[in-house]
Structure 1
């Protein structure tokens, strides 16, 4: 597919240059246009955002153009729109045609946006909610080498810094899920067990909870934990994350025996065939298990939102994966603790990755909608 894109780069750029960036693209196929389906109801407890990373030097050198175009935001419109432009080798056309798709999100950060800006606009309120004794959860999702791990790690540092300005101490646990196996990254990647106790609460048996009292200590803790995280080479990344990583920050409340909780989850990267070309049988198995857990997570989030808006009994498949077992409390319909969730979908803007970018956006859109 890469060779197909490179062969038709000039044609692709000609198509894109003709587009009006403020309007929904029309395909260059002369086929009847199908009206877009109306959006489903939005999940009021969830914020869906997109972060587009800068073009990689390797893509620029190879000659791949940009395929991801944030549309200028219109005054008074609550959502933002991002366009993806792909090439399609139509069997009845003498040359490829442009195939575009438009995606709506609540917050959109282009390649010029800093991590501090992402924090201020979509994560700050989540952190304040956890600081006040509530439950906040952040998920970052995207293709390998889309900037997920960098984004989440920097956001964790900013969150710990702000929380320590409001509280004297925090308690941090960081675990990694590689396939169905869990490891404690604060204990040199010692294997731990994920079990339910007699009350049905999920326990990380053997995981260490470290007390943090200052910014420097917190940042050092995060960086040390990340050094033990599982990685493997892909075509685009020599050290691609091969796992889900969950950072849990517990915030004791000064006037209550309860604690606020902030979960910051760096989900395993979604991968296409060329990304896993160097993987052996074990890594291929982990990739399959990671993809299954991502699908179950999507189902749990959507079913939780549906249950909150419906009087009917709704099944939430929290026991379907180790990931959702650990995050079981996020989907607990009986929980008295208020909760908020933020999703950051990370994109590679290159035409070579347009198919994966489209899948990432579709996944994020599904998370934020209620059937």
Structure 2
């Protein structure tokens, strides 16, 4: 879609929203596709850029007076927890952090140990870079949210601590950049593979011309820092849009360092350009559109973030080894024939097996047919003694003839089958040794 000024340049955008656009339409077109990709294991970023008073904070966070005015952040949280409930094949864990960058200093908006009367009361967040050039934020707390309500409470706490001031352009101007990050972890049922993804929702401070705003004192100092950091962001965008550019100046500001992965890294990034409709702000609107065009030229290479959990993999391999050993004992006729005792038939073992929510859990009782039959008897008794559901009648099963298992065939299988099982046992033992070494 194209947008142009009456006598100015043309600009191309994916979609243009006018003043009458509702918040739910913004979410459906902009944030929902990004959230769906985050659920699949991709990193995502949505950031709003524009002039002071053009609607960035309203778009990202929303209005506080009406429920329908909720912004992208609260709607995304609601959508994610809704999808968690629908997906019964995976287990999800969600954590939240909230960073504010004010005058090139980082602050933790969710610090639980401090009651902030002013911004300086919050702990400062510092940048650290590891040997692989990954950025780590020291002193930035990360909080688990087990429900939508807990997540929204964290958002409310962070917004309460934000740096807001009145300016000639905006009665409630946010004087800082804020990065609300959702850290998501998911694992499929019975799988040792973990997906880790994150979603940055960024509300940038508004760009402004000091000559127009007439800012003085503290507001003037804030405006200088805001414009400097936005200039650094623009320099990074320009460098990324130029082919074969060797050096990207991420380190010139804290904000570009934090958003390093979002700009030119492993991340699906969407920008919302907010413009004023007033004629006197046409120069700023054109500048915003030009910046958006440069952002659109950046191509990121994204991939699903998956990794193996060593602990889960070791547990899975140990269960498989136990099963293979018992299968090998059955095929070679090496069944144990221990005398049955009360301890062997302890109902707690069967009860623990039934109560285990892991679908891959096994009831290991060895290669003894008498123990196997005894456990089947305990399971049958447990089922028959279980009271029927109160809300519906349990269907009656047709009677079946009582079945007595024949004695096992103790003749050994072929040597090929036995050798195969032995090799599998040895292979799993080796894999556990490897995982134990890497995990330690």
Q: What range is the shorter-chain TM-score in?
A: 0.5 to 0.7
Distance 2:222 2:176 in 1: 8
- 1:359 maps to 287
Q: Of 300, 311, 316, which residue of structure 1 is paired with 2:236?
A: 300
Shift of 1:330: 2.6
Indicate the structure with greater strand content.
1
Query: Would you say the 8 A contact 1:302–1:370 is kept in 2?
Result: no
- 1:169 maps to 93
Shift of 1:284: 2.5
- 1:273 maps to 210
Matched, 1:139 2:56: no
- 1:102 maps to 10
Change (3 A) 1:141 1:117: same
TM-score normalized with structure 2 length: 0.57
Query: Would you say the 8 A contact 2:236–2:250 is kept in 1?
Result: yes
Equivalent positions of 1:39-188 (< 5 A) are 80-85=1-6, 99-153=7-61, 154-167=71-84, 168-187=92-111, 188=116
Gaps of 5+ in 2: 62-70, 85-91, 117-121, 300-440
Please give the per-residue CA displacement for 1:68-92, whole angstroms capped at 9, x wherever unaligned.
Answer: xxxxxxxxxxxx122334xxxxxxx
Query: Would you say the 8 A contact 1:247–1:264 is kept in 2?
Result: yes
- 1:29 maps to none
Distance 1:182 1:305 in 2: 28
Distance 1:81 1:332 in 2: 25
Q: Of 292, 296, 302, which residue of structure 2 is paired with 1:368?
A: 296
Query: Would you say the 8 A contact 1:302–1:369 is kept in 2?
Result: no
Distance 1:279 1:212 in 2: 41
Please give the per-residue CA displacement for 1:56-107, whole angstroms capped at 9, x wherever unaligned.
Answer: xxxxxxxxxxxxxxxxxxxxxxxx122334xxxxxxxxxxxxx444322111
- 1:195 maps to 128
SS of the counterpart of 1:314? Answer: coil
Indicate the structure with greater helix content.
2
Matched, 1:264 2:197: no
Change (3 A) 1:192 1:144: same
Shift of 1:198: 4.3
Change (3 A) 1:313 1:238: closer
SS of the counterpart of 1:257? Answer: strand
Shift of 1:331: 4.2
Gaps of 5+ in 1: 1-79, 86-98
- 1:42 maps to none
Query: Would you say the 8 A contact 2:237–2:294 is kept in 1?
Result: no
Change (3 A) 1:118 1:332: closer
Shift of 1:195: 2.0
How many residues of Structure 1 are paired with residues of Structure 2 in the alignment?
270
- 1:69 maps to none
Please give the per-residue CA displacement for 1:133-173, whole angstroms capped at 9, x wherever unaligned.
Answer: 11111110111111100110110111111111233431110
Structure whose CA Rg is larger: 2
Query: Would you say the 8 A contact 1:234–1:275 is kept in 2?
Result: no
Equivalent positions of 1:313-352 (< 5 A) are 314-331=246-263, 337=266, 339-352=267-280
Query: Would you say the 8 A contact 1:268–1:290 is kept in 2?
Result: yes
Query: Would you say the 8 A contact 2:207–2:230 is kept in 1?
Result: no
- 2:220 maps to 284
Query: Would you say the 8 A contact 1:164–1:213 is kept in 2?
Result: no
